[in-house]
A and B are shown apart, each in its own frame.
Chain A
């Protein structure tokens, strides 16, 4: 059996080597492309989740602020809110718009006054899942007595009571 041998000339050798290098480069590029696509797919999901979480944190934080403002508005005049005055609308100017505020008021008669309870529900308008809905319950007592109706977390001083309230802020030691 006679065997045939291919005679490789220097020109032929150079052409083969160039072709092999091109093929290797193509394979490397393809592998890199696949790796890059897979990595970007995973990393994009991480970034998307981060964006969603950041938006949720902002919504929740703003909802708490809006609810707190609405609660303070309610505390300042619970009878008016019970009669139909809306709360939580005045905060829109401070960048916390796009929140729906719902207030459910219940009244309970006490021995010498009325106890108003408000359930404030704040929902971001674009929150379809309802995950960032925030609820706050607050209560305010209105006495029938003449000089009694002043209990708020941070009471405002009237002109007549300035001296008395300053003296009594620290409590009595006796």
Chain B
């Protein structure tokens, strides 16, 4: 019995310490790699979000230019707003064309115009983000940007909470 046990390969303390060290190092390396990959993905998302915000902003600026042009040919702000709304389809395609010429990715951009008295509600959407602007048109052929908001659409379904009933 004693002879048999001496011939077996036994793991010494040095081997054990080395194995444990290597395993710990490997786990740490994998965790480090996963963290940095996640950071890089977050950085890419940040850059995409920034680009998207500026795409919306740029298309909005071009739309303002078109609205300003319509305002110059109208007698009052109200007629200009109505003209913008009635010519919305042509205006939208002209805006998209001009934005594309300026090097802006407008593949998923859509614009809408809605006249409300002498105001125009401009909406620009692009993949879950929306620019909502309210432009007031004045009779002296000037305009004012009353609001200019970029929002992100909520895509997750909301859970129905318990209302307290039986």
List residues of chain A with CB under 8 Å of any chain B CB. Answer: 25, 28-29, 32, 35-36, 39-40, 42-43, 46-47, 49-51, 53-54, 56-58, 60-61, 63-64, 67-68, 71, 106, 108, 110-113, 115, 117, 119, 134, 136-141, 143, 145-148, 150-155, 165, 168-172, 174
Contacts of B98 in A (CB 8 A): 108, 115
Contacts of A47 in B (CB 8 A): 29, 32
Extra contacts besides A60-B40, A106-B102, A108-B98 (12): CB < 8 Å = A50-B35, A50-B36, A57-B36, A60-B46, A61-B46, A115-B65, A117-B58, A134-B47, A136-B51, A139-B61, A170-B147, A171-B134
Contact A64 B50 (CB under 8 A): yes
Contact with A along B88-116 (1 / 0, CB 8 A): 00000000001100111000000000001
Contact B50 A67 (CB under 8 A): yes
Contact A168 B36 (CB under 8 A): no
Size bin of chain B's contact surface: 35 or more
B76: interface (CB < 8 Å): no
Contact with A along B30-61 (1 / 0, CB 8 A): 10110111011011101100110111011111
Contact A139 B40 (CB under 8 A): no
State the main secondary structure of chain B at its contact with A: helix
5 smallest beta-carbon distances between A and B, as pairs: A111-B69, A139-B58, A46-B29, A168-B146, A53-B36
Contacts of B50 in A (CB 8 A): 64, 67-68, 136
Contacts of B35 in A (CB 8 A): 50
Contacts of B62 in A (CB 8 A): 115, 139, 141
Write the chain A residue with the least CB distance to B147: A169
7 inter-chain pairs at a CB distance below 8 angstroms, sorted by A residue, are A32-B18, A46-B29, A56-B43, A145-B141, A146-B142, A153-B57, A155-B148
Write the chain B residue with the least CB distance to A106: B102
Contacts of B143 in A (CB 8 A): 143, 145, 147-148
Contact B104 A137 (CB under 8 A): yes
List residues of chain B with CB under 8 Å of any chain A CB. Answer: 12, 14-15, 18, 22, 25-26, 29-30, 32-33, 35-37, 39-40, 42-44, 46-47, 50-51, 53-55, 57-62, 64-66, 68-69, 71-72, 98-99, 102-104, 116-117, 119, 121, 132-134, 136, 138, 141-148, 150
Contacts of A170 in B (CB 8 A): 147
Question: Assuming A39-B25, A139-B102, A165-B146, is B15 touching A32 (CB within 8 A)?
Answer: yes
Contact B68 A136 (CB under 8 A): no
Question: Assuming A43-B29, A47-B29, is B150 touching A117 (CB within 8 A)?
Answer: no
Contacts of A171 in B (CB 8 A): 121, 132, 134, 146-147
Q: Among A64, A138, A148, A169, which residue has its beta carbon within 8 angstroms of that of B58?
A: A138
How many angstroms from the CA of A60 to the CA of B146 in the assembled complex?
Answer: 34
How many angstroms from the CA of A172 to the CA of B102 in the assembled complex?
Answer: 33
How many angstroms from the CA of A39 to the CA of B23 in the assembled complex?
Answer: 9
How many angstroms from the CA of A150 to the CA of B68 in the assembled complex?
Answer: 13
Contacts of B51 in A (CB 8 A): 136
Contacts of A148 in B (CB 8 A): 68, 142-144
